[in-house]
Every structure is written in C-alpha cells, then in structure tokens.
Structure 1
Amino acid sequence: MLHVREPRTLKKPAGASTLTISDITEDAARLAAYDGHERVWCGRDESRGLIAIVAIHNTVLGPALGGTRVWAHESFEAALTDALRLSRGMTYKSAIAGTPFGGGKAVILADPKTQKTPALLAAYGEMLAALEGQFFTGEDVGLTVADADFLSTCASNVLGTGRGSGNPSPVTAHGVFLGIKAALNHRRGSQQLEGVRVAVQGLGSVGWALCEKLHGEGAALIVADIDAERVEKAKRLFGATAVPAGEILAAGADVFAPCALGGVIAQQTISMLKAGIVAGSANNQLARHEDARLLMDAGILYAPDYVINAGGLINVAAELAPGGYDRGAVMAKVGEIPGTLGDIFTRAEAQRRPTNDIAAEIAMERIAAAARKSRT
C-alpha cells in the first residue's frame, strides 16, 4: 500500500504562495555522491528563510524514509553532498534492517540555534505536504521532536512525533550499545563492558543515552563535545574523562564511538586512532567508502554505521506497520542488530574484505531481489 516506485510531479500546497520547489536531480548528478538517485528536490522560500534539499535515493523497497537535518553548511553544494550521502545510507540501512522503506534524507540550510524559526518550519512543512507519499521524515541533527510535532500539523508524512513513537534517540543508542557488545564479542570473545574504555565523540541525544548504558555496565568513558556544559555533566554523572574534541580519536580507548557528525574516519585521521574497534551512531562516519579498507589494514574492526545505528529507523518505521506501533516488536527487531553485525564481521574476516563492503553487498542483494519480485 505504501509502495512508491516513480516519484510524482509535485503540486504546491494551497496557500504556499511564496514556496517554490524545483527538481534539481540533473544538478545533483554532477556530484560524486550522486550514485543514481531517483529524484532530488530543492525547496526555497526567501521570505521565510527556507532552503531545503530532499534527496530520494531508492524506492524499490518502499517510499523514502529519512530524517531532516538542520545544519549551517558552508555552501549549497556541501549541503547537497550531505543529503546525497545520507539518503544513500538510508537505503542501505533500511534494506539491512528489513523495513519496507527506501532511502531518503532532507537537509535544511540553517543554523538550528539562530535561524530555525517557526516561519521557516512552516515553509518546510508545506514542502513536506507536497512530497506526501514519496518521503517520510522526522527528527535528526538540529530538528527536535517538538519541531516534528509542529511539522506534523502541516503534513501527514512526519514520524517520530510526541504523539507517535516519540524520540528515536534512545532506541538508536540501544542498538549501538548492543552493537558495541557484538564487536567486543567478535574481537575478544566476550561482551563484558566492565573496565572497557570507550571514547564517545558527541554527547547529543544518542551519545548521551549511549553513555548512560555504557556507564551502567561499568565501561570507563572518555568523552568530547563542543558543549562544555554537557562534558562537565558527563564527568560528574559518569566519572568520564574529558578530552578536547580534536584529541578524541587519539584517546587511549578500546572502542571509539563516533556519535556526532560524519566524515571523522578519513585517511589522515586513521593513523591517529588508538582504539581497536570503531562502533558509533554517527551517519557517514567514513569520509570515503575506501577508508574502511584502511581501517581493516590497520587491524581496526569497523561496525558499519548504517547497520549499528538502525534503531531509530526501526522505531519510526514501526508507526506505519500493520496494526500500528508496537514498542515490544521494535525492541525485538533492534535486538537483531548484534546478530547482523556478527554475520558481517565473520564474512568480512573470512573473505578478507572490509565490513562496509559486505554490508553494502547484503543491502544491494535484498534490493535486487525485491526488484526482481516486483517484475514478476
């Protein structure tokens, strides 16, 4: 019922007199991150300060689903590249998690602290209304559950609201927590966290919830965040050791958990890593797909981001499940993440291939199978 294969022509919602929505797929195709996206839209409303990009990567498994990020990128091209990379990751994430959705993502070019006004959100809500049936969205970096609640009054394709499944961050954190245990088990033969040193980069909603879980099982935390108040709170509540943001990769940790923005794992930073495991919630942790091989060559076990951080997707996707949202079913499905990671780790080791190559292969196999089935 939700399946959408061909994006429709958009119709401007009634009353959206100052909003324009343009198809910029051809422009996006010039970028390296394009990867055959089905459609890329740009919404602009100068009077209300909106510049928004919605990238729809692949809808073979169902309509596109992905969060809306509010971030002050240095350029439109940088924001477009971010949207393209994030939406592709959502395609893989959904396929591996087994949800009936494709991959999409939205980026609003704005400072979430100073430019995210009610007028801007209203304009974006009108854009979402025009995309109804093609793109479902919700909370992400810079967009809160309260913002999602507001957007849901403008459009029905907003998930993760206070009236729906709620904040997905704790569910994402739970999946990452289980994934760290799976990585430890594969590397050490034990899931024991007591005394394990975990360096958490980013103390936002997911990073903080992850720290709570890790601390609860005796992990020794090393933390970094641009918000000094959060860092002090983590020191006080978790006994965490604080390091400057630029030094977290080199911290003497067993596990590095990137929980901020992407691109932190790159050719020039991998040599700095002291941890034997990289397992965190951030999307697009690798600056380049090829950087996973550098991690492998350095003896570092990498938990592919779109596998380990799928809890939030699973949570919001469940709102559209037959029979409605079921928290128990959600947590059971999130509980499958360690098994999926274990299989990826084992295959990667046996084939001497990077873990993200194995994960992408699994995702594309499932998408190809769905495409063949739809043709029969």
Structure 2
Amino acid sequence: MHTDTGVFGRSHELSSRRHEQVVFCEDDRTGLKAIIAIHSTTLGPALGGTRFYPYARESEALQDALRLSWGMTYKAAAAGVTLGGGKAVIIGDPAVDKTPELLAAYARFVETLGGRYITAGDVGTNTDDLDIIGRHTGYVTGRSTAAGGSGDSARLTALGVFNAMRAGAESVWGTASLAKRTVGVEGVGKVGRELIDLLLADGAEVCVSDVNDAALQLVSQCHPSVRLLSSVATAPVDVYAPCAMGGTLTTTSADAIEATLICGAANNQLANPLVEQALTERGITWIPDFVANAGGLIQVAGELRSAAPAEVESDVAGIFPRCRNIITAARAEGIGTGAAANRFAERRLDAIPRSI
C-alpha cells in the first residue's frame, strides 16, 4: 500500500491522474501563504477558484488544494469547456488577514505561472478581491462587470444545481419538477440563497441550516415560509442539498439520511468513495457535485471567450440533459452515478494525448 503522505503521495492517493504542478507561495511582507495546485492542462489552462480559509494545519490546506484541483479537472471535462483543472488556497482568516497588498502579492505569483493557471472566486474571495487580483495579473476571471468581468457566479452556479436537481427528480419521481417536494438546503451563502429562490419559484417546500445565524436570519427575512433547522442532512426531506463545505456525506450520515435524492453545490461531498456505495444500496440517488455545480465554471469559461450572457445561460441549462445521461448510464451499467460521471469526463480527457 502506498503510504507516502507528501505532495506526490497525496496526489497518487486521489487518482492515477497525478498533478502536474504544485506551487507553494510565501511573501514575508504581507504574510501571504498560498498553495496553487495544477492538476491538468490537457484540455486547456487550469482554471479554479482561490479559497481563502483559516486552515488549522498546512497539511489540510495542501489536501484541499489537491482534492479541489483534481475535481476541477473532471468538472471542466464533464462541462465540455476547453479548460483544465486547478485550485488555489490562501491560508488565513479572510475577515482578518485579507488585504489589498496580500492579494496583490498572490496575483504576482499567479502571473509567474504564465497562464498555466487562471484563478477565479471561491470560499473567502469575491468579485472585489478578483478586481484587485486583476490589476496585477491577466490570468483571472469572475471579476465585476465594472472591471470588465461577468460578475458573481452564484446565480448561475445555483441555476446549474437546480437543473441537476430537476434531472434527479425526473429519474426518481418521473417529473422534472420540485413542486411539493421538501428540499433541505445546507449552507445559505450566496449560492444557497440563489438556489432557495429557484426552488420556491418551482413550488418546493424549503428548510435550511447553516452555522452562521446571521445568514439564517437573512433567509428568514426574505422568505418567512422557509423553515430553519439545526441540521437538514438527516431531516425528513425529499432532497438533501449540501451547499456548504465538502465531506458531509460519510458512511455514518449515509445510513441516517432520509432524502431520496442528494444534489447540491458543495465540492467534494463524499468523505470517501465507499459513501456512494452506501447511498446506492439504500436506493438514494446522488448527483455528482462536479457535474451539478459546474454553472460557475461555465460562466467564467464564457467570460474568457467573451460569450453573450444568453449563450452562457443556455450552456448552464445543458447540465440538465448531462445529468439525465449520467443517471441513465449508471443504471444501464450497474454502477454509481459518480463512477458514470467519472467515465464521462475521462472519455474526453483520454481523447487528447497528455502533455505538459
């Protein structure tokens, strides 16, 4: 068994498709500590957001960068865009440590990669931050419309998840509608709130949970009909929508979940590959996160090629038939939806000779 827990070992543990490059960035003047992980440039430059998060240990930051960048490769391949997979993490509390100087220092590291990595927004970063980064490197997307970008990607990310959820509903209940279904949204940040709007407009009953009380109160003020719960993961809901941090689907939670369908915006929802098997054995349909939450990626890919907003929105709507095809393939081949989605992405990756 491979026991090396260093950078190379961790890349091997994730997949036989190892990372091309991992860059450790440190700037004493601003206190910047960042990791940029480039998993693949097979289909194009590696694109992935910058996550600003107070990791307790540097090893956790590295693991997040490796896992998220690997996921971006598959997300881009499945979404049909001409981009590879990358991700960056900045270690620190964005509420305390984020400064224009630190972001500028980070941007200069991105610039040194010469376009092999293009950054965007993620947890802890927003369009204002991307505008600052964009003053020091051209390898950035997702900037504000005032700065020439396409703006925040939350709406289209949520739209993609909603379309994926509709495909899941069609496979489970025979109709591509969430009307009269109870959906539990875990995490009511920007994407979660946008998803709630779409669900309510479709006639769904919504309950939510979040560790941030202020975020919950904001939802309650906007939508008094939405129920606030301490947890939705094991609540009596039809659909569980994880939209916060990843890893909430464990072998333990898989046994306790009452939902028939799982579809959300969070990345890396499965704590380990065995979870999907546990869900399948219980008859629970899981829509792979990297397919469902690709709306934001599709938006910034459109920004890079100067696509019209209507064209981009149409591309995001394409997540519905993509999910339908993946569910159909999984059932026909007797495999999980995650495995079917991986095969879908890998066929596109394997069609192009790997090179650096």
> TM-score, length-normalised on structure 1?
0.89
Q: Which residue of 2 aligns with 1:240?
A: 226
Q: Which residue of 1 aligns with 2:159?
A: 174
Which residue type is aligned with residue 71 of structure 1?
Y
Give unmatched runs, 5+ long, in structure 2: none
- Tell me if the contact between 2:234 and 2:253 (Cα under 8 Å) persists in the aligned partners: no
Once the two structures are overlaid, the 10-residue window that deviates more, 41-50 or 97-106, is: 41-50
Tell me by how many angstroms 1:288 deviates: 1.1
Specify the alignment match of 1:105 in structure 2: 87
Give 1:290 shift: 2.8
CA distance in 1, matches of 2:347, 2:23: 28
Distance (Å, rounded) in 1 between the aligned partners of 2:194 and 2:176: 19
Structure 2 residue aligned with 1:16: none
1:338 corresponds to which residue? 320
SS at match of 2:352: helix
- Describe the SS at the equivalent of 2:277: helix
Unmatched 5+ residue regions in structure 1?
1-25
Structure 1 position 194 matched with structure 2 position 185? no
Contact 2:255 2:278 in 1 (8 A): no
Matches within 5 A, 1:232-271: 232-238=217-223, 239-244=225-230, 247-271=231-255
Match of 2:291 in 1: 307
- What is the number of residues matched between the two proteins? 345
Which of the numbers 199, 215, 221 marks the counterpart of 1:230?
215
Compute the displacement of 1:145 (Å).
0.6
* Aligned positions of 1:331-370 closer than 5 A: 331-370=313-352
Does the CA-based 8 Å contact 1:176-1:308 persist in structure 2?
yes
Alignment RMSD: 1.6
CA distance in structure 2 between the aligned counterparts of 1:288 and 1:234, rounded to whole angstroms: 32
Give the aligned residue type for 2:14. A
SS of the residue corresponding to residue 248 of structure 1 reads coil
Distance 1:325 1:52 in 2: 31
8 Å contact from structure 2 (residues 287, 323) kept in 1:
yes
SS state at 2:257 partner: coil
Measure the CA separation in 1 of the matches of 2:239 and 2:219.
Answer: 18
Q: Percent identity?
A: 39
SS in 2 for 1:47: coil
Pairs within 5 Å for 1:307-326: 307-321=291-305, 324-326=306-308
Q: Partner residue of 1:33?
A: 14
Q: TM-score, normalised by structure 2?
A: 0.94
Q: Which of 228-237 and 341-350 deviates more?
A: 228-237
Corresponding letter in the other structure for 1:295: L
Query: Greater shift after overlay, 29-38 or 184-193?
Result: 29-38
Deviations along 1:11-35, one digit per CA (max 9) or x if unpaired, are xxxxxxxxxxxxxxx9411223375
C-alpha distance in 1 between matches for 2:340 and 2:81 = 19
Query: Distance between the aligned counterparts of 1:72 and 1:327, measured in 2?
Result: 35
CA drift of 1:61 comes to 0.5
